[in-house]
Homo-oligomer: A and B are copies of this chain.
Amino acid sequence: MITFGILATSPIAHEWMTAVNATGAYRLGAVYSRTLAKAQAFGEAYGSEVVAYDSLEAFLADPALDLIYIASPNGLHVSHSRLALEAGKHVVVEKPAVLRPAEWAELLSLAKEKKVMLFEAARNVHEKAVALVADFLKDQEILGANLRYGKYSSKMPALLAGELPNVFSAKFGGGALMDLGIYPLYLAHYWFGKPDRVAYQAQKWDWDVDLAGQAQLLYGDCLVTLQTAKNYTTYLPSEIYTRQGTLILDSIEAIGSVRFRDLSGQEQALPVTVASHQMEEEAVAFARMIEAEDWSAWENWAQLAQDVHETIWNLRQDATLVFEGD
């Protein structure tokens, strides 16, 4: 059983609670909020023995906590992760964990020094279906892929009305790539590895952040295309092309079905199972590594995150998407 503390009582923290409660591997030990009443209310909703803190220092020093789940605003992820790691806690930090690969590298080296595990909560890459696809592709020659996640943002009307919601602010590392693009990027890196070259054609707002865009990841002459958008919705499935046929995925951020159509048009469905909660599979994966002290598995995941953040950085350079602090 992993006893964990929750840093920040945002809606996603409630989702995390539902997910970890489904795993049976975690116990909520403490909650931190700048407002004690909020921490107390959150804790009470999930158990009578949860300690509430409004002091970050005291919260992180709580010896009962093995792990800190960080759900604070994106701009605070790095500093909160650093503090939690320095306190010797395992860390699960919501994505994007960092805005720059150097920050991830720094956190990683701190985690290694402190002998704790640091995870970016890239939940979709832990879905069983993702491993199933990897296994299916193992002996096939990949010709290319077409992955996407584009969803009209509820904040678009405000943006068009002249406001600047955080999700579209370069100051907070906003835009489509950081928010939604990271989902297909994780899968591309998991399935195909780190690309040789990348390019990003961004549709920008006010020369600042990307509302939509198309990334090209090149592996030799094999092209993986990623589409992302916050100013429109795409309803298209994703596809992976192999010498033997086409693999069709209904989604890349919550895979519900995977079908393979071979060159003759014959179709087979892969035996996809869907977890009871979207965040459950990542929670199980993190618990397994921590409990088994599987440092080698952890380093693989940490390296995957490093590669993803390096690719995001390269894509941003290509499209001249500059965040404050770059």
Binding site for B on A (CB under 8 A): 143-144, 146, 152, 201-204, 212-214, 216, 218, 221-223, 225, 227, 229, 231-237, 239, 241-243, 245-246, 248, 261, 263
Instruction: Point out which of A203, A231, A237 has the most chain B C-beta atoms below 10 A from its C-beta.
Output: A203
CB distance from A257 to the nearest CB of B (A): 13
Complex CA gap A179/B51 in Å reads 67
Contact B201 A216 (CB under 8 A): yes
Provide 25 A-B residue pairs closer than 8 Å at the C-beta atoms, listed in order of the A residue. A143-B232, A144-B203, A144-B212, A144-B229, A144-B232, A146-B234, A152-B263, A201-B216, A201-B223, A204-B221, A212-B241, A213-B223, A214-B223, A214-B225, A225-B225, A231-B241, A231-B243, A232-B241, A232-B242, A233-B263, A234-B241, A235-B239, A236-B236, A236-B237, A236-B239
* Complex contact A231–B201 (CB within 8 A): no
A124 to chain B, nearest CB (A): 20
List the 7 closest A-B pairs by CB distance, nearest first. Answer: A232-B241, A203-B221, A236-B236, A143-B232, A201-B223, A233-B246, A152-B263
Query: Once the chains are docked, how many angstroms separate the CA of A263 from the CA of B233?
Result: 8
Bound: A243/B211 CA distance, A:
12
> Is A223's CB under 8 angstroms from B246's CB?
no
Closest Cβ of chain B to A250, distance in Å, is: 12
A66 vs B213: C-alpha distance when bound (angstroms)? 50
Q: Is the CB of A143 within 8 A of B212?
A: yes
Q: Which residue of B lies closest to A154 (CB)?
A: B263
- Kindly provide the distance from the CB of A209 to the nearest chain B CB, expressed in whole angstroms: 13
- State in angstroms the CA–CA spacing of A83 and B120 once bound together: 67
Residues of B within 8 A of A245 (CB): 232-233
A237-B237 Cα distance, complex, nearest whole Å: 9
In the complex, A232 Cα to B146 Cα: how many Å? 12
Query: How far apart are A251's CB and chain B's nearest CB, in angstroms?
Result: 13
Distance of A204 Cα from B143 Cα, bound (Å): 11
Is the pair A241, B223 in contact by a Cβ cutoff of 8 Å? no
Which of B152, B213, B216, B246 meets A214, CB within 8 Å?
B216
